Chain A
Amino acid sequence: MSALDLRDVVVDYERRGGGRVRAVAGASINVERGQIVGLVGESGCGKSTLAKAAVGLVRPTSGSVLFEGREIAPLGRRGRSRDLARLQLVFQNPYASLNPRRKVGSQLADALDTLDLVPAAGREARVRELCELVGLPAAAADRFPHEFSGGQRQRIAIARTLAADPHVIVLDEPLASLDASAQAQLANLLVELSRGLGLGLLLISHDLAIVRHVADDVSVMYLGRMVETGQTARLWELPLHPYSESLINAIPHPDGSGFLPDSLPGEVPDPAEPPSGCRFHPRCPYAFARCGAEEPPLVTLAGSRSAACWLQPEGAAPASPAERADLSSLPTSNSFVRPTIRPSPTEEQQQ
């Protein structure tokens, strides 16, 4: 049993003026205790909505969200059950989630009071311990949020979730808007906490380089669906889905080489009107006839990898999309119209 288990989650939003938007269109993800799972994808792909569904902030239209085997009831007026406190959420902007007018220590103590996990006499000591756990001096408890840098504030936000002795923390873009050095510190902290406390972390980030470094497993999301999941190192070495490949090729290299990253033509389509068949096919350089007609399911390949791409048959050995495209075009080249739809020439074409 996974600590956090999202299965075939669908989330629909009502659009102003009528109509529904399917922000998450059937996505599954698992997080075990002590494991860091990365969730990546472009903005608008539904990753933040999935994060909200994971902690019960939005109610899935269908599918299930289980935390330690129990269904997560969406947050209602009566608060939530005590057991769910073991599942915590950290937002992107720590300044928005901390009260600027109260000392850090009293905000941490609030969390302890609410949950009553520590006897009253031990709370002050626990507050100091929480500060140290996230790499802040114990004296930080006596200061206000504005006295800290962005990275330190994010640590305070994490310390507050740790007050609940969580088993799983969902982090929505915790590293965005930090300088590289602060990012490095926070990334190290996340790894330490996960290993040291046996915490499961679901790390949602558009910073692929950081995810690559800290996550054990990674899921790639496109327009509400998972297109590939697998061990981070393997996925990076050999991305199986053309979308994962595009994301990785778009990352610049800070090595002075002058490597100009590849752009991905077109844009994430409107989730209210997803393309037919494979949702990625209008932007995919390998798309062929079937891709526009049928939606590929997420299937398991050899080496405990999964991908949702017609080029990657179930059970096959992992091979790059280009290699697969060549293989499949050999015997049945007439069925292979490639590409079906030219991506609109809005992005810079490769030189």
Chain B
Amino acid sequence: MSLLEVDGLRVRLPSPAGPVTVVDGVDYRVDRGEVFGVAGESGSGKTMSMLALLAVLPEGAAVEGSVRFDGRDLLGLSATRRRELAGRDLAMVFQDPMTSLHPMLTVGRQLTEHVQLHLGFDRRAAERRALELLEQVRIPDGPEALRAYPHQFSGGMRQRIAIAIALACRPKLLIADEPTTALDVTVQAGILRLLDRLRREHDLAVILITHDLGVMSAIADRVSIFYAGRVVESGPREDVLRRPRHPYTRALLDALPHPELRRDQPLVAIAGSPPNPGSIPPGCAFHPRCAFAKGPCRVDVPELVPADGRLLACPVDPFATA
């Protein structure tokens, strides 16, 4: 049994024009100690599908499907119970650590409050734990750092502090939403190494949401590519990123500059832009931008089916090897 089992997850958000489906039937598994990568352009539903797990969706959102976390049915729990769990066994870090760190409270207060509330530690024990956490995320001068405020740290350090807070109650699953997007590459590499160490040393499961396939390629074991609220391709990192089979995965990779590309060769951009959740094209949502679309692509929503060691939602399968 996997730590997290998500089946047929659907999220609908209210909008002036009626409910809009932003996540449309998504399945995935995440094991202990595994980094599961979720990639896709903005608006593909990757963040919403994670917020649904934590019960922190916007008001009026409707969630369907089944989510089993550590053997428990997550969606069956009350929102209050789920949020309790969310602070302890499931934790999340965001792109901009300043949105999750309180600017007026010391790092120490933010680190200890958490363990006092969720684990019932007294102040002394909470402070010991806080120092241990800072050490774990490699923040130097722990005692001094505890007395400092978030603005006194650099962007990379703040992200480490946000990760320390997320780890405070020894979660089993960490959801990291674009954790390195706002950082310099040199600092990004440090955060990726940190996440990689945490999963190896603490058996932490990590869901890494990113639009950057390079970041994904660095530490994800398995990846899912989202498009318009659905998974179009999913499987082991090597298979999906090295031998992409879905035209969308392929197009995402082709849009990236790479060393073999000559300077006078233009980059290959994907035609058009991703659809709005309110107006998803019928059939395969990618068909209007796809160079390989055929008649049925405009009508039938493709099923995600096993193909060559991965799951693929493209019956045309133009990059089939056989």
Identify the A interface with B (CB < 8 A): 42-43, 149, 151, 179-185, 187-188, 191, 206, 208-210, 212-214, 232-233, 236, 246-247, 250-264, 267-268, 344-348, 351
Contacts and interface: CB of A to CB of B under 8 A. Distances in A.
How many interface residues does chain B have, given as a range? 35 or more
Contacts of B253: 254
Given A213-B267, A345-B140, A254 B256 contact: yes
A103 to B, nearest CB: 20
Contacts of A236: 259
B21 to A, nearest CB: 21
Interface in B203-232: 211-219
Nearest to A256: B241
B176 interface: no
B172 to A, nearest CB: 22
A221 to B, nearest CB: 12
The B interface is mostly helix, strand or loop, or mixed, namely helix
B73 to A, nearest CB: 34
B197 interface: yes
Interface in B221-279: 237-242, 251-253, 255-259, 261, 263, 266-270, 273-274
A346 B185 contact: no
B194 interface: yes
Interface of B: 41-42, 138-140, 154-157, 184-190, 192-194, 196-197, 211-219, 237-242, 251-253, 255-259, 261, 263, 266-270, 273-274
A184 B257 CA distance: 8
* A interface SS class: loop
Given A254-B216, A348-B197, A210 B184 contact: no
Contact of B186 (A183, A256, A264): A264
B144 to A, nearest CB: 13
B184 A261 contact: no
Given A179-B42, A213-B263, A267-B156, A260 B185 contact: no
A250 B188 contact: yes
A261 B241 CA distance: 17
A346 B242 contact: no
A259 B237 CA distance: 12
Contacts of B266: 188, 191
